Amino acid sequence: MDTGSRTDSPGLVVAKGILRYSGHALREQLTRRPATRSTDVPVRTREVTGEWLTAVLCGEHAGAAVESHGLEDVSNGTSSRWRATVVYNAAGRDAGLPTALFAKTSRSWTQRLLLGMADVLTGEPGFYTHLRPHLDIEAPHGYHGAVDPASGRSIALMEDIVATKGATFCTPQTPISLEEMKGLLADMAVWHGRYWDDAELDRHSFLRKTPETFIGNLAKFAGLEKRSQVGVQRAKAVMPEAVLPLHDDLYRALWRSLELAGQGPLTLLHGDSHIGNVYKTRSGRLGFGDWQVVMRGSWAYDVSYTIATGLAVEDRRAWERDLLAFYLERLDAAGGTAPDVEAAWLAYRRQMLWSYFGWLLSIGRSAIQPKFQPDSISLGILERASNALLDLDTLGAVNGPDPA
């Protein structure tokens, strides 16, 4: 990707997005359209009806219907989130239909702008509809997904894992043990192996993007180069001083790293596998939530992101080679073709850059961008990622020769 000269400036890209989505969002504020059919896409709790819930949850079960429901708004960030509790008639109860639901929607025009410009509006609805049913991993089950591309309205309706599994989400302050990290990587090997170089990746439009195209779109929308410079200034207190003068070289290396992430055997990527998207169930198992950014690419993109953000610096230094060897064994067992250890180590080192720049973007955001994560999470991850860049000589790995 050419990072120096793009057809549209970030400001023009944002302006086009605003024109595309703001008219729809304004009309929606002025008119109330209750959702009643499965083809409707409610984004606010006030739009949800029992008829719609019956249509999307009971369609395959004759006689089943939603008798009553309760709704609770939860939070707003890159998406709007709400919970639903559902009571069914006898046929619905007999069918074992889900009663504790969690929804993620694109309610605001800023959310639609971000998700639309980054081409991830369809990610979570697509994952839960087409891929999740075929994966034996710790992740929420999905019940319905839909997108209206013209307006940017989207919804992913899934299991409320807080209610069903007592889940709590992790942060950089959450201690992660060696065995817990192995559990995460074992699940990752399952989806990487299942879709390793698989023709099904070509059949779904929501999987067309690679890390390079996704972050290229995001860079246009968000002005990644400038926002990352702002992020360095806001986060420099938690980073090693030695990383600060390397910023321009690291930014250039990022694009080579992303190019490499789209080469070789491609597989299904979670795409956003940082520790803030990891949860722990009441039984102690860790799993990944937030599948909005699913894409295709190199296994190393997911693995490096998880290890770099999930482990304290000293733990990563002590465990990462053993963890990589463990992942490669599980990948082979799950149907992938693991590279040899040295090639894998090089790929792992090369994919550390987005763990750094993604969080510079988060803390360096402009006023128009939704707040991706609290600053405490951004700073905690940047401390880990900046140390990883130095420890692993990521610049040297990216700029050095490929294995013979």
Place of tokens 């990944």: 288
pLDDT for the residue numbered 4: 37
pLDDT score recorded for residue 5: 38
CATH 3.30.200.20 in the chain, residue ranges = 10-159
* pLDDT at res. 206: 92
- Scanning the structure block, which residue is given the tokens 């420099």? 236
Exposure string for 334-351, b = 16+ CB within 10 A, e = fewer = bbbebbeeeebbbbbbbb
> CB count, 10 Å around CB of 132?
20
**pLDDT classification of 6: cutoffs 50, 70, 90:** very low
| Residue 28 phi, psi dihedral angles, 5° rounding | -65, -30
296 pLDDT above the threshold of 70:
yes
What's residue 1's pLDDT? Answer: 33
What is the pLDDT at residue 368? Answer: 61
| pTM for this entry | 0.91
Q: What whole-number distance in Å separates Cα of residue 35 and Cα of residue 20?
A: 23
| Mean pLDDT of all residues in 247-262 | 97
Higher pLDDT among residues 379 and 109, named by residue:
379
Output the pLDDT for position 312: 97
Phi-psi region of 89 (alpha: psi -120 to 50; beta: other; left: phi over 0): beta
* CATH fold for the domain made of 167-399: Aminoglycoside 3'-phosphotransferase; Chain: A, domain 2 (3.90.1200)
User: Interior CA angle at 329 toward 325 and 332, to 5°?
Assistant: 135
Query: Rounded CA gap, 161 and 253, in Å?
Result: 38
Tell me, what's the pLDDT at 2?
34
Q: Where in the chain is the domain with CATH 3.90.1200.10?
A: 167-399
Summarize the confidence of residues 371-381 as an average pLDDT.
87
Please tell me the predicted confidence (pLDDT) of residue 371: 66
Q: How large is the average pLDDT for residues 256-265?
A: 96
Binned at pLDDT 50, 70 and 90, residue 14 comes out as low
Would you call 104 helix, strand, or coil by DSSP? strand
High-pLDDT (> 70) share of the chain, %: 91
pLDDT digits (tens, 9 = 90+) for 169-226: 999 999 999 999 999 999 999 999 999 999 999 999 999 999 999 999 888 878 899 9
Q: What ranges in 195-312 are assigned the alpha helix state H?
A: 211-222, 224-235, 247-261, 299-310
Interatomic CA distance for residues 399 and 220, integer angstroms: 24
193: left (phi over 0), alpha (psi -120 to 50) or beta: alpha
pLDDT score for 277 = 95
Question: What is the pLDDT at residue 365?
Answer: 84
Instruction: State the Cα–Cα distance between residues 147 and 391, nearest whole angstrom.
Output: 42
Greater pLDDT, 110 or 68: 68
Residues 54-91: b if buried by 16+ CB within 10 A, e if exposed: bbbbbeeeeebbbeebebeeeebebbbbbbbebebeee
Which of the four pLDDT bands, split at 50, 70 and 90, describes residue 121? confident
pLDDT digits (tens, 9 = 90+) for 61-100: 999 999 999 999 998 777 889 999 999 999 999 999 999 9
In DSSP notation, 309-322 reads HHS-HHHHHHHHHH
Q: Are 40 and 52 in contact (CB under 8 A)?
A: yes
298-310: per-residue pLDDT in tens? Answer: 999 999 999 999 9
Cβ–Cβ under 8 Å, residues 152 and 112: yes
> Per residue in 284-294, pLDDT tens?
999 999 999 99
Per-residue model confidence (pLDDT) at position 105: 92
305: burial class by Cβ within 10 Å (0-12, 13-18, 19+)?
A: buried
Question: Where is pLDDT greater, at 283 or 32?
Answer: 283
Contact 251, 347 (CB under 8 A): no
Integer CA distances (angstroms), 277 to 43, 140, 257, 300, 344, in order = 22, 12, 23, 18, 24
Which residues are within 8 A (CB) of 252 and not within 5 positions of it... i.e. 6 or more apart? 3
For 53-62, 114-123, 162-171, 256-265, which range has the lowest pLDDT when averaged over its residues?
114-123
Domain 10-159 superfamily per CATH: Phosphorylase Kinase; domain 1 (3.30.200.20)
Tokens of 175: 């201690």
Structure tokens at 298: 């190199």
